Structures are given as C-alpha cells and as structure tokens.
C-alpha cells in the first residue's frame, strides 16, 4: 500500500514487476485538489496559486505593502513571475488543461507589460535585457537597491 500526505491510496496505480521497476498512471490519481486558481496577488502572498493547496498558519495574513511606484512595479513583476512558475509546474503534469494554459498566457502578457513599464522607467532588470550596442550599461550606478537608486 502507498499513501501520500493527503492520504491518497496508490496501490491500484502501481504495476510492480520487481522492486526496481514500476510505473504509475498519473492521470488516474486523485490528488484531492481542484485546479481553481487564486488571484496572482493572493497566490504570490500565500506562495501557492491553487486555492485548496494552501494551509493558513494560525490566523496569519501575509501581504506586502509598497511605498512608491517603483516598488509597486517591482512587486508586480515578482507576482507575475511567481504565478508563471507555479502554473508552469502545474502544466508540466497537466499539459491538456486548457483553462490553466489560458491563465498562463494571460499572466505572461501581464508580466511582459509590467516588466516593460518598469524597464522603461527605471532600467533593465536582468543583464540579458541590456540592448545598448555602444557600451555595457548594466554596470551603471546607482544599482536599484543602492540609496539614491531611481
């Protein structure tokens, strides 16, 4: 018998020929979850995009607050990046889930928009995004985390 942390029973899904060789039909396993997604912000703050995979610690509510436009844009870049990575992991195991794929594409476009807005105002976020052909501008000071940064 095989159980996971949610008490799912796996014995019917294993075909064991010997102890070193087994296969699993993952499509037939019930993981005790739906694919209902939280908002990007709630998923980011909880660390999980799926509503029924989150267990709240006591009555703790975690929400970041931004102090200015720059921090707000960077917060959004982080939120959308997290949501894409979480949905990416889900789609790796559920590649035919059209609603998740639709959400992935929608969030990807939002990330592109907010990243473009940030970079047009404050500079590139990654060295791979430097487009200046005349000189290497990635090292220009001040860095975003330095006092006096844009």
The Cα–Cα gap between 123 and 135 comes to 15
From first to last of its 150 residues, the chain has per-residue pLDDT tens of 444 555 555 554 444 455 555 555 555 555 555 678 888 888 888 777 887 776 666 666 667 788 899 889 999 999 999 999 999 998 998 899 899 999 999 999 999 999 999 988 888 888 887 777 888 877 776 666 665 555
Q: Are residues 59 and 125 in the same domain?
A: yes
Is the domain of 27 the same as that of 44? Answer: no
Pairwise CA distance, residues 96 & 140, whole Å: 45
Q: What is the pLDDT of residue 1?
A: 47
The Cα–Cα gap between 91 and 50 comes to 13
Residue 146 and residue 80 share a domain: yes
Kindly report whether the global pTM for this prediction surpasses the value 0.75.
Answer: no
123 and 88 both lie in a single domain: yes
What is the count of structural domains for the chain?
A: 2
């Amino acid at each position: 018998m095989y159980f996971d942390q949610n008490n799912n029973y796996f014995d019917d899904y294993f075909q064991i020929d010997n102890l070193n060789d087994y296969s699993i039909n993952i499509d037939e396993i019930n993981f005790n979850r739906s694919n209902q997604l939280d908002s990007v912000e709630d998923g980011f703050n909880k660390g999980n995009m799926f509503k029924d995979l989150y267990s709240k610690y006591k009555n703790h509510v975690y929400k970041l607050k931004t102090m200015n436009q720059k921090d707000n844009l960077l917060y959004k870049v982080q939120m959308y990046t997290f949501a894409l990575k979480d949905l990416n992991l889900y789609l790796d195991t559920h590649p035919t889930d059209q609603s998740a794929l639709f959400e992935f594409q929608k969030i990807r476009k939002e990330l592109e928009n907010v990243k473009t807005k940030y970079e047009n105002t404050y500079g590139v976020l990654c060295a791979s995004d430097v487009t200046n052909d005349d000189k290497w501008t990635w090292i220009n000071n001040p860095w975003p985390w330095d006092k006096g940064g844009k």
